[in-house]
Amino acid sequence: MAFDSSLTVHAWSMATAAVVSAACGLVGGFLVVRRMSLLGDAIAHAVLPGIAVAVLAGGSLGGPLVFAGAVAAALLTVWLTQALHAGVGLAEDAGAGVVFTSLFALGVVIVSLAAARIDLDPECVLYGILELAAFDLVPVGTLLMPRALVTAVVVLMIITMLLVTTWRWQLFTAFDPAAARAAGIPVTMATTLLLAATALAAVAGFEAVGAVLVVAMLVVPAATAELLVQRMHSLLLVAVAVAIAAACAGYALAWRWNTSAAGMIAVVLGGCYAVAVLLAPGDGILARGIARLRLEWRVAREDCLARIWRACEADGSDSAHVGNPQTWLERLAGLWLERRGMVRREKGRVTLSDHGRREAEMVVRSHRLWEAWLGRHAELPIDHLHSPAEWLEHHLGAAMRDQIEAELVAGQVDPHGRPIPPEATSHQH
């Protein structure tokens, strides 16, 4: 099959990037969950001397000898990192940094000195040659396909098989290695297989996309997925989907703007992570901002009701003069309570409706119960009880109030001698 258009060339290159991304996304999910991303970075760089030595020994890129050399270099990286940690007390992240930079530099030196015998160059090592992947063809049945794509497909199949057959090992080890070991799971074997899969993914992407993008593919899609989903299988699916989408979009943009495909894919991956950081349902900036505003809004409403209730209590009547709110949120909360009919203003005095009074009593009751509990157990001076009780009253509900009340004597007042409203009144709403 011959290439009859540039569109076919770009389609093959995009497919190569997508398959490499999928392989890296699968492995990266476990690396991120196990907090081994730096080790994945180390392996992605440290496989270079293994690849270079294997090629010098007669292996071809994508061949079994190169795979063996990459896996050996990956395992050497892990062993050296652990040896530095155990032998000289070097932190694992620092040890990984020392090992992978040394091995990567060694690989660059080997490639430079043996440039005539190794079909690699330092620029290819860093950025890959994804745009040219479609011109290095191998026969697959009756079809001519890019060698890099064939290698990536084989690696993806191997990685998928490894993860499927050792799924229970990998899952248990990822979340609780100690419990996994106690349950008889071979944690060391599971880790070794994961690192071997990481090495294979690095080899698959090395020539096509380079060391820089391999690291991005191993880490960023999984980190993005971790923000969006909770279950491990969902995390892997989302990571693979993000990796493939970023690879295709990045390559298309690079084609459109005539720039580096590997660089643009990495930029798109970074953009995906930025969007996830902003929009993640649980931990995203927007979700946390909304949750914080909701809490502040509820606190402002409750404080407004409690202030009115205390003023009425001090006057011994159903209405009272209440000072102006101090913040714009409190003023807005007061207007909202009036619109809801929970607060009424007449001739400069403020009155609570039945609903508003029940809500206010719940807040006041919580505050005074906490002051009573803190006064008994926290050994705080009486003038230091208000601030912690002011915070706790908004965050702990009826169950905790009931538990505190069970410790108190019936009819007890707060440390300031003020009565504690009964819970029955608060529960009527």
More confident residue, 426 or 250: 250
- 246 in the same domain as 395: no
Using alpha carbons, select from 3, 321, 317 the residue that is nearest to residue 137. Answer: 3
pLDDT band for position 82 (cuts 50, 70, 90):
confident
Q: Which of 223, 245, 280 is the last residue of a domain?
A: 280
- 295 in the same domain as 269: no
Indicate whether 176 belongs to any domain.
yes
CATH no. for residue 100?
A: 1.10.3470.10
pLDDT band for position 429 (cuts 50, 70, 90):
very low
Using alpha carbons, select from 356, 360, 32 the residue that is nearest to residue 217. Answer: 32
- Taking the alpha carbons at both ends of the chain, their separation in whole angstroms is 76
Render pLDDT for 187-238 as a digit per residue (tens, 0 to 9). 989 988 898 888 888 878 776 777 778 888 999 999 999 999 989 999 999 9
- 420 in the same domain as 306: yes
Structural domains of the chain, count: 2
- 397 in the same domain as 302: yes
Render pLDDT for 147-200 as a digit per residue (tens, 0 to 9). 888 888 999 999 999 999 999 999 999 988 889 999 999 998 998 889 888 888
- pLDDT given at position 428: 41
- 341 in the same domain as 264: no
> Taking 50 as the threshold, does the pLDDT of residue 3 lie above it?
no
More confident residue, 260 or 279: 279
- Record the tokens describing residue 87, joined without a space: 């032998």
Indicate whether 405 belongs to any domain.
yes
350-354-359 Cα angle (round to 5): 85
- Record the tokens describing residue 61, joined without a space: 């890129």
Indicate whether 1 belongs to any domain.
no
> Taking 80 as the threshold, does the pLDDT of residue 1 lie above it?
no
More confident residue, 104 or 117: 104
Highest average pLDDT, of 5-9, 96-100, 108-112, 246-250, comes from: 246-250
More confident residue, 323 or 127: 323
Which residue matches tokens 């191997």? 158
- pLDDT given at position 95: 83
Q: How many residues does the chain have?
A: 429
> Taking 50 as the threshold, does the pLDDT of residue 425 lie above it?
no
- Record the tokens describing residue 420, joined without a space: 């504690």
More confident residue, 3 or 397: 397
Average pLDDT of the chain, as a whole number: 84
- Amino acid identity, position 370: W
Indicate whether 137 belongs to any domain.
yes
Tell me the C-alpha distance between 378 and 392, whole Å: 14
> Taking 90 as the threshold, does the pLDDT of residue 32 lie above it?
yes
pLDDT band for position 4 (cuts 50, 70, 90):
very low
HEC per residue, 303-320 = HHHHHHHHHHHHHCCCEE
- 250 in the same domain as 207: yes
- pLDDT given at position 235: 96
* Cβ proximity of 128 and 205 under 8 Å: yes
- pLDDT given at position 125: 62
Indicate whether 411 belongs to any domain.
yes
Tell me what the mean pLDDT of segment 360-386 comes to. Answer: 83
- Domain extent, residue 400, equals 288-427
- pLDDT given at position 214: 86
pLDDT band for position 124 (cuts 50, 70, 90):
low
- 185 in the same domain as 50: yes
Tell me what the mean pLDDT of segment 26-48 comes to. Answer: 87
More confident residue, 84 or 64: 84
Render pLDDT for 338-367 as a digit per residue (tens, 0 to 9). 999 999 988 778 999 999 999 998 888 888
- 340 in the same domain as 207: no
CATH no. for residue 401?
A: 1.10.10.10
- 159 in the same domain as 240: yes
> Taking 60 as the threshold, does the pLDDT of residue 142 lie above it?
yes
Tell me the C-alpha distance between 163 and 235, whole Å: 14
- 331 in the same domain as 247: no
Using alpha carbons, select from 185, 170, 235, 218 the residue that is nearest to residue 74. Answer: 218
Tell me what the mean pLDDT of segment 240-266 comes to. Answer: 91
- pLDDT given at position 163: 93
- 326 in the same domain as 269: no
Indicate whether 351 belongs to any domain.
yes
Tell me what the mean pLDDT of segment 266-277 comes to. Answer: 95
- pLDDT given at position 118: 66
- 182 in the same domain as 118: yes
| Pairing mode of beta strands 137-140, 143-146 | antiparallel
Tell me what the mean pLDDT of segment 71-84 comes to. Answer: 84
Tell me what the mean pLDDT of segment 247-262 comes to. Answer: 90
Tell me what the mean pLDDT of segment 47-62 comes to. Answer: 79
Q: Which of 225, 247, 280 is the last residue of a domain?
A: 280
- pLDDT given at position 427: 42
> Taking 70 as the threshold, does the pLDDT of residue 80 lie above it?
yes
Q: Which of 262, 280, 298 is the last residue of a domain?
A: 280
Indicate whether 215 belongs to any domain.
yes
Tell me the C-alpha distance between 265 and 253, whole Å: 9
